Chain A
Amino acid sequence: MRILRLIPALLLLPALSALAQTAEIAARVLDAQGKPVADAVVVAVPSDGSLRLPPRPREGVVDQVNKEFTPKVTAILVGTPVTFPNNDNVRHQVYSFSPAKRFELPLYAGVPAQPIVFDKPGVVVLGCNIHDWMVGYVYVSESPYFAKTGKDGKASLADLPTREYIVRVWHPQLEGPEESTRKTVDASPSRRVDVEWTIKLKPEVKVRRAPTAERGGRY
């Protein structure tokens, strides 16, 4: 009987052992003035290249609300299907010319029937052919270990298998290539590793939504 009671505990052992062998990277991203940077994507790739991708990534969603993409930056794993529901009462025509994913959703309202599968890693810039000021970004990560910073500039990559990682940061206004932000991080068991980046941001200039001095031609 005692042996029978021990069986569940024995079954849990590998799981507990796996938990004990995970690590966390606590990332913090600041701009040149030392202010927290929101919407930065932090990606960790094992140095040895051993990536285990989940068989079926969860579906992503990029809303259109008040004639803007929400969220403005979406980070997903390569192979993730993403739907683009239109929650405005006006129609949108979402497109991207980015090499990582070229697509076009012809003028639509509501939810498109088919999601778009992002099958190549890279940055996909979204636009709307009706409302030129609308811009959004889908960061397609080749690694399942990624997170997006919040308003405090912080992001946590938890439950990482313990090993050495190359960690890098991307942001829509990042000056210079993403590769220039690479850092090597040794994620040891049951340990939180704090990593901080100070990145230079380009000024944000996008197609203007506010009225201009020139009358007429709203779109």
Chain B
Amino acid sequence: MLGVGVSSPATAEWLFDVDAGGFYDSNLSNAQNQADIRDDFAAAVAGSIANFYALTGNDGLTLSIDAAGEAYHRFHGLNLLGIGASADYRHKFGLGYTAPWLRLNASASYDSYQQDLRTGSRWALVAELGQRFNDQCDAAIGGVLERRYGPNGDPLVPGIPGTVFNLQGQSAYVRGGYAVTDSLLLGARFEIRRGDVVSSTRRNFAIFEASSAIAADPTFGPDFFAYRLRGTTGTATASASWALGERSSLNLVYAGEKTRAYDDLDYRSYRISLAYAYRY
């Protein structure tokens, strides 16, 4: 995250952030069969302009405008430009950095993909309860409600819609951080999500039978179809964040994911990302 901060008089505090880096995703198509799995590298950049308000000594509100972009090496249909906004409220139950806190976050964005099938808007609500136990350790548990609107996608089968990226889901997670040194922060996160998932494969009758929406997905090839399914996804994330100064850091994140969409479909993927973050 690249950032520059300016403070206006009284209570508001401007925050500017930029993240720039790249990632590798081992299974972008969320496919089970080896022949259908598509992996790729992408460059990613994200930025935000935010205004923080200290409402009281225990309450803070951050309003931000966010933008993000991703450019893929092979699958250009996934290239993305997104813009959004979020409101983040935090309440501390007491005084001091070890006081437990509650965070409520509402965000919405519009994401424009090079291949229209995935283009659409989304929103998410997050509630998180956390505590810092000392200078080195903190932990939080949270829940997410999310909705994605994907109006594109022509129906291929009568009676089954083509809007595969009309998705909703909810998840719960637990996360923790441990500062090994003043510079190195390790993090871990485990998340379970239940909701709609999209798997893109070649024609597959078993998946077709379990699908609630189907559309052609030329992003991965002319013979690929995107299937919307109901599934449960478990994600384990490990991160290492190296502070380069008070305002910047280098962040390495590994996220391994396993989804069970129905009895016969299991797919796995992992993503490794490296990003430079700057905040002012």
A interface, CB within 8 angstroms of B: 88-91, 93, 95, 97, 104, 106-107, 109, 127, 129-130, 132, 203-214, 216-219
Contacts and interface: CB of A to CB of B under 8 A. Distances in A.
B72 interface: no
Contacts of B243: 208, 210
Contacts of B15: 218
Nearest to A92: B54
16 contacts: A89-B9, A97-B96, A109-B11, A127-B97, A205-B181, A207-B132, A208-B182, A210-B246, A212-B239, A213-B253, A216-B88, A217-B90, A217-B105, A218-B50, A218-B62, A219-B90
Given A203-B181, A213-B241, A218-B15, A91 B187 contact: no
Contacts of B185: 208, 212-213
Contacts of B253: 213
B206 interface: no
Given A129-B57, A218-B15, A211 B1 contact: yes
B54 A90 contact: yes
B29 to A, nearest CB: 25
Contact of A89 (B8, B240, B251, B277): B8
B248 A211 contact: yes
Given A204-B182, A210-B279, A219-B60, A95 B8 contact: no
B182 A206 contact: yes
A129 B1 contact: no
A106 B54 CA distance: 12
Interface string B234-246: 0000011101111
B34 interface: no
Given A132-B132, A213-B241, A90 B58 contact: no
**What 6 A-B pairs have minimum CB-CB distances, sorted nearest first?**
A89-B7, A210-B243, A213-B239, A213-B251, A132-B97, A211-B277
Given A107-B54, A218-B50, A218-B62, A212 B249 contact: yes
